[in-house]
Amino acid sequence: MCGIVGYVGPRQATSILIDGLRRMEYRGYDSAGVAVLNGKGIKVQKAEGKLSALVEKIGQETIEGTVGIGHTRWATHGAPTTPNAHPHISGDGRIAIIHNGIVENASSIKKALTQRGHTFASATDTEVLAHLIGEYYQGSLEEAVAAALRDVDGAYGIAVVSADEPDVVVAARKGSPLLVGVGDGEWFVASDASAILEHTRSVVYLDDGEMVVLTRVGYRVRTLEVSRIEKPVNQIEWDLATIERGGYPHFMLKEIFEQPESIENTLRGHLLHEEGSARLSGLNLTDEYLGQMERIIITACGTSWHSALIGEYMLEEMARISVEVEYASEFRYRSPIVDNKTLVIAISQSGETADTLAAIREAKRRGARTVGLVNVVGSTIAREVDGGLYLRAGPEVGVASTKAFTCQVAALALVTLRFARLRHLSVLEGRTFIDALQRIPALIQSILDRAPEIEALAKRCEDATNALYLGRGVNFPVALEGALKLKEISYIHAEGYPAAEMKHGPIALIDENMPVIFIAPKDAVHSKIVSNIEEVKARGGKVIALITEGDTEIEQLADATFPIPETLDLLSPLLTGVPLQLLSYYVAVRRGCNVDQPRNLAKSVTVE
């Protein structure tokens, strides 16, 4: 979850490191630090809090040097304090390390090192690793890092420098993303391409168990055992402008408003109108396999799990195939029943989510075919699955996912269409579905054009301490997602429920102070949700309802409504999700919350 950046080249490193960390601050913002080699040793500067605190410290002195590493932290081991901030140094002060991940056997290593006379200044597992590398150091930083990592259990993305080798940065990964940037006479390492995009578009993606050694004359990739392996150089397609705010006050708002374009990008090139189907060659699934496939498991975390639930409704209704949705964090620990007739679909915006990656590996071990729906090209999940589909949503910087969610639902609609046409769906039904899909971007734009109406509704929620989101059918997962968004960025406790389940407990919480948000388009279960609204009103609850344009019945019942355009029932989450994103955003802004960097959260969860 932390941000890592390293540099070797002719320019002053500090400003390059700080700029890179600024691009990655969404990955962690509890503390930050840099270590720069200045010819006399290692100069380390770090600070608790956001990156601005580090910049202020650095501004009080000059940190010169053309080789260095930088880090922005999301705390795991140890509180977010300056002593726990990275970089950490070895016992003799000659080696500095930054680290993303968790060293699971840090306690036993620390105990052994303490018995040998080591003392520690922090509560982190990273400092233990720094001391371990220091113990192994005998003139080669590369070999010391390889030796230390052979003793480590857990996940890591690391970058290491030594005062005794002032022209070298060594980096390695296992379960945490890391890439090499190849510039013109300069080289970079980073956990995210955004950190180095200003300087180069040429990158090498490291795989688990691989290391890279950066020097002034180039770079070399190896494993912990083998001295050299060849890796392809990839080109990043997007540019720096896509990760700037572009005049919007927050990345989250910008990304909400990008959804018409991002969904068009997800759909582009995949729809076959004449055939009423979808072209998804990247899935690498033959018609023969799809005919033999007996069930689908979709595994994901957080927002991606909510999109997976929507996919379950789509696939079961249109393709008539059994679907289970699993929390990736639980999947591999419960001995799932998986075989070669099971398709496992993993959904992850970053393509690096540790739990989802572990679930995919477990599924493959048990013989399942795996498919990934990810947004980040070259990510670990994208490289490890048997096939997949890129969302093409563009970089998502806001910690609370918005456009990735709707693009995931759109991608699942494509998968559903492809599978359904091979099973029961007619050409005419397929064409109808495609027509509705192609209208979605324009319908979302019509919702966004009315954003001030949602901003006005936010006044009804800003002082709440609790909120309830209720939906039925395919919009039940939208209720879950709406509640999650409100929790994430406004810190209001919110829960999502199937509307009928409200009677089995949550109804006890309803009073005049709790907003109850109904997702109530005019679909097959409309009459049922009208009854649920009546039940809330009878208890004095304040109802805000998302309704289909022209629904006067709920309009007369609810305290406030927001109408959305009509579409197919199964595609309605692509529309109902957007006003809830805007609602959470405007509530958070009115409450003075940091929308793009909500407390305790990070964008990419690369630890279990």
- Residues labelled as active-site residues: 2, 603
DSSP letters spanning 114-136: HHTT---SSS-HHHHHHHHHHHH
From the list 328, 332, 333, 270, the residue with the least C-alpha distance to 303 is 328
What is the DSSP-derived secondary structure letter of residue 365? H
CB atoms < 10 A from the CB of 556, how many?
8
State the virtual CA torsion across 153, 155, 158, 160 in degrees, nearest 10: -10
Please say whether the beta carbons of 212 and 170 come within 8 A: yes
Please say whether the beta carbons of 98 and 87 come within 8 A: yes
Sequence-ordered list of residues with C-beta below 8 angstroms from that of 431, at least 6 positions apart, any chain: 273, 276
Please say whether the beta carbons of 79 and 123 come within 8 A: yes
Q: Which two tokens stand for residue 213?
A: 């050694």
Q: Which two tokens stand for residue 152?
A: 């480590």
Coil vs helix vs strand at 487: helix
CA-to-CA distance for 195 and 183, rounded, in angstroms?
Answer: 13
What is the DSSP-derived secondary structure letter of residue 229? B
Q: Which two tokens stand for residue 195?
A: 């950190």
CA-to-CA distance for 406 and 576, rounded, in angstroms?
Answer: 10
Sequence-ordered list of residues with C-beta below 8 angstroms from that of 500, at least 6 positions apart, any chain: 472, 528, 532
Give kind and range of the element (H or E) at residue 404.
Answer: helix 403-421
CA-to-CA distance for 153 and 174, rounded, in angstroms?
Answer: 10
State the virtual CA torsion across 140, 145, 146, 147 in degrees, nearest 10: 90
Axis crossing angle, helix 302-314 with helix 403-421, rounded to the nearest 10? 30
Q: Which two tokens stand for residue 526?
A: 């409309």
- Output b/e per residue, 283-321; b: 16+ Cβ within 10 A: bebeeeebeebeebbbbbbbbbbbbbbbbbbbbeebbeb
Main-chain phi, psi angles of 201, to 5 degrees:
-105, -5
Sequence-ordered list of residues with C-beta below 8 angstroms from that of 86, at least 6 positions apart, any chain: 2, 31, 33, 46, 71, 73, 97, 98, 99, 124, 126
List the beta bridge partners of residue 498: 471
Signed CA dihedral, 187, 192, 198, 201: sign only: positive
Burial of 224 (0-12, 13-18, 19+ CB in 10 A): middle
What is the DSSP-derived secondary structure letter of residue 533? H
Q: Which two tokens stand for residue 86?
A: 């990275």
